[in-house]
Amino acid sequence: MKVAKFKNVALFATSFFLLSACSVDSEPDQDQTDNSKQQPLTSDENAPILDEQNTDSEEADNPSLPPAPSPVDVPVDLDDSIVESPSTQEDLTPNPIAPSKPPVVDSSADEDTVTPSTPGVTPEPAPEPNPEPEPTPELDTSNHYKPQLLVTWQLQLQGTLNTSYDAELYVMDLFDTSKSKIASLQSQGIAVICYFSAGTYEEWRSDASKFTASDLGLALADWPGERWLDVRTHNVRSIMSTRLDLASSKGCNGVDPDNVDGYSNPTGIDLDSSDQLAYNRYLSEQAHNRGLAIGLKNNVGQVEQLADDYDFTINESCDRYNECGRLDVFISQGKPVLHVEYRPELLNQPSAFSAYCQEFVDKQFSSLVLPRNLDDEYRLSCQ
């Protein structure tokens, strides 16, 4: 009887101990509670798992096993009265499954896959303004040679060149005059105007092969080997530009382009006055672009339209054709009229020549009487 009482006391003490342990373990540290949501529980492999449900199931499935002894029937030694509690409370009471956490958005993901909380469009940076283009430098055409009124001059295109005359300006052939000769005259303070035909083909010129059959018109009467040119073609203009390059490279002060009045002559080409004006202005522009002065040769019919574009005029026989009055527009602009007449009869008539010159001196023309071949056979000057 005493033994039974002792056993009951021991069982009661053991139960009290277990209840106390459960009470202590049921209030885990707050830090451990938080960690249980993040980390899975681990159990000691050696600790016994006390699961009544599993025990009952095992007994039901195995009827051959003896029934579990009642606590009253289990002999208890005083030294064994303290029953070891399970290693952790979690082994006795199953833990609830921790709620799953929301997925963590990787901040390094492509921004296109992230939906912003406040939708909006990121403004594109304003484009930088385009720099203003630098202004195209204008060609300085103000420094080219400009002959003055009443300038003294000489015109020779054939024969041995005679430069002994007291003249401020010489007109000579572009192709036949050397660069050294031009430089020699300029070293003496003499200006050199280089002559070439801008309106006719000359079969003896070094660049004659560059012209095509479509460039050519009728032959010039009394001038063998020459034919009128179609000054509207690109090829003709290109050749003339090359001639202006030659004048520039030789150091000419200016140019005297001849035969620039084809529209008023029987050329065999359908040229009109507008074609001629366009071509003559082209020549003027190209000459000035190269720093060359340019003279208008004859073409009295377009003097009024072209005086502003040219630096002087060279006229042949305006007295013979009663056209000298039309050249006054150049004089009014302070530009010289270089006038020549072919009147060999005046050679032996000093008085007639003196009277002849007075008219042109009064008009401020720079007038000469020369041989038609311009070969320096003779020269009479009104100055």
pLDDT (tens place) for every residue of the chain, 383 residues total = 444 444 444 445 444 544 444 444 444 444 444 443 444 434 444 444 444 444 444 444 444 444 444 444 444 444 444 444 444 444 434 444 344 444 444 444 343 443 444 444 455 555 555 445 444 444 445 689 999 999 999 999 999 999 999 999 999 999 999 999 999 999 999 999 999 999 999 999 999 999 999 999 999 999 999 999 999 999 999 999 999 999 999 999 999 999 999 999 999 999 999 999 999 999 999 999 999 999 999 999 999 999 999 999 999 999 999 999 999 999 999 999 999 999 999 999 999 999 999 999 999 999 999 999 999 999 999 99
Tokens of 9: 């006391």
Residue 301 is classified by DSSP as G
- Rounded to 5°, the CA angle 277-280-283 comes to 150
117-134 in b/e form (b: 16+ CB < 10 A) is eeeeeeeeeeeeeeeeee
- All structural domains of the chain with their residue ranges: 1-28+51-93, 153-381
Residues facing residue 171 across a β-bridge: 155, 193
Kindly write down the DSSP assignment for every residue of 196-229, as one continuous string.
Answer: EESSEEETTSTTGGG--GGGEEEEPTT-TTEEEE
Calpha distance 201→215 (Å, rounded): 9
Contact 36, 99 (CB under 8 A): no
Distance CA 316, CA 367 (A): 10
The answer to whether the predicted template modeling score (pTM) of the entire model surpasses 0.75 is no
Token match 């204008």: residue?
A: 138
Domain 153-381 class in CATH: alpha beta
Spell out the residues 6+ positions from residue 333 whose beta carbon is closer than 8 angstroms to its own: 307, 308
CA–CA separation, 369 vs 269, rounded Å? 33
> Do the strands 337-341 and 312-316 form a parallel or antiparallel pair, or are they unpaired?
parallel
Asked if 87 and 47 touch (Cβ cutoff 8 Å), the reply is yes
